[in-house]
Amino acid sequence: MTPAKVYDEGAFTVDKGEWGYQSFDRDGNKIILSLEEDQCVYWTRRWLKAQQDGEWPEGSGRVVNKGIVGGKL
């Protein structure tokens, strides 16, 4: 098993798992899951920068599809 890679002076780590690459913050909280390592690193950096700038409030997320069907089935 390979150890997790540390990025940006310990701001986050990326670990390869069964489902792809998972990034973790300094406290060990999961951030981004991706099939490709470079995409995981890119989006983790974007997420952390948005958190730092206050553009992405803690606990919020973006829902792309709700999966709710309206009307009668």
Please give the average per-residue pLDDT across 28-56, as a whole number. Answer: 90
The pLDDT, as a whole number, for residue 63 is 56
The pLDDT, as a whole number, for residue 52 is 85
Query: How confident is residue 66, by pLDDT bands cut at 50, 70 and 90?
Result: low
Please give the average per-residue pLDDT across 45-61, as a whole number. Answer: 79
Does the pLDDT value for residue 1 go beyond 60? no
Contact status, residue 22 vs residue 30, Cβ threshold 8 Å: yes
Torsions phi, psi for 32 (to 5 deg): -125, 140
Q: Which amino acid is at 60?
A: S
**Structural domain boundaries in the chain:** 5-52
